Amino acid sequence: AQLEADMRTGLAAGQFELYYQPKVGHGSIRGAEALLRWRHPARGFVPPSEFIAQAEQSGLILQLGQWVLEEACRQLAQWTGPPLLSQLSVAVNVSPRQFREAGFVAQVLQALAGSGADARRLRLELTEGMLLHDVEGTIDKMVQLRGYGVGFSLDDFGTGYSSLAYLKRLPLHELKIDQGFVRDVLTDPNDAAIARTIVALGTSLGLQVVAEGVETEAQRQFLEKNGCHVWQGYLLSPPLPRERFEALVQEHA
Ligand code: G
Ligand code: G
Ligand code: MN
Ligand code: NA
């Protein structure tokens, strides 16, 4: 309860910020995943693993999630002008509870309209579990937002309960191979087989496939050889504060 009160205060006091992790495709930075960070004046830096679950439970995730959407859209709207920044997409993680709210579509549209961000540069990252809860309702929301140009990624793919029957019905852009399969992809034949299978599945469904948690050049090469050309990971960069992310994009051009 103390944590929740602190989160409420922190949200009002501007203690939350977004970090950006580059997403690389065919050798250049194509976009960023926005990741929430909380700088508490006394607790210091609190990682999402210590507050997201609590925010979900208490319902505060609704306000927190709205702030994340608005902030990511404000950032998108600012990344205009210089050719590199103006082409970036920004991906936002959406929590199951937030997505299930009746007003979710309106919330996203409001964040876009309020900032002037281009909907086609916004990606929403959903997880498998949340999609199966109310499949028809999920598809309906996704289709509505797709109509405005918003893209969808299926995050942590392979760790949840995706049914392939639903997968083909979801209007997705992208599948993200969970980092748990990438970590030992060079040494564990099962992980290698799973990674290859996800790439083949995604590709045959017409989806972009992104590998998460790429830490070494050897992992990157293995994935590329197997048809996965888009990745995120410490090999290029951890999530960065806005200015450092912008500098990296310019450097990497
Ligand atoms: O860097 P990392 O510690 O950022 O993130 C840990 C976990 O927290 C990830 O599973 C990520 O999906 C989740 N997370 C990070 N930022 C957000 C956010 O803005 N909203 C939600 N719902 N989850 C987030
Ligand atoms: O669940 P989600 O995929 O949204 O969360 C991504 C998480 O993975 C974040 O906590 C992010 O900081 C972390 N991450 C990003 N790149 C790497 C990496 O190369 N290695 C590891 N171990 N973690 C990473
Ligand atoms: Mn994610
Ligand atoms: Na993930």
Whether the pLDDT of residue 163 is over 90: the answer is no
Output the ligand 1 site: residues, CB below 6 A. 35-36, 47-49, 52, 68, 93, 95, 239
Q: Provide the domain count of the chain.
A: 1
User: Tens digit of pLDDT for each residue in 197-244?
Assistant: 999 999 999 999 999 999 999 999 999 999 999 999 999 999 999 999
Cβ atoms of 151 and 118 within 8 Å: the answer is no
CATH of the domain at 122: 3.20.20.450
User: Tens digit of pLDDT for each residue in 124-133?
Assistant: 999 987 877 8
ipTM of the complex: 0.96
Sign of the four-CA dihedral 94, 100, 103, 109:
positive
Instruction: Output helix, strand, coil percentages for the chain, rounded to the nearest 5.
Output: 50, 20, 30
Residue 116 backbone class (left: φ over 0; alpha: ψ -120 to 50; beta: rest): left
Cβ atoms of 176 and 155 within 8 Å: the answer is yes
CA of 93 to the centre of ligand 1 (A): 7
CA of 57 to the centre of ligand 4 (A): 20
Whether the pLDDT of residue 162 is over 80: the answer is no
CA of 50 to the centre of ligand 1 (A): 10
Give the range of the structural domain holding residue 51, as residue numbers without chain letter.
2-252
| Residue minimizing CA distance to atom 12 of ligand 1 | 93
* Closest atom of ligand 1 relative to the 35 alpha carbon: 16
Mean pLDDT of the 241-251 span: 96
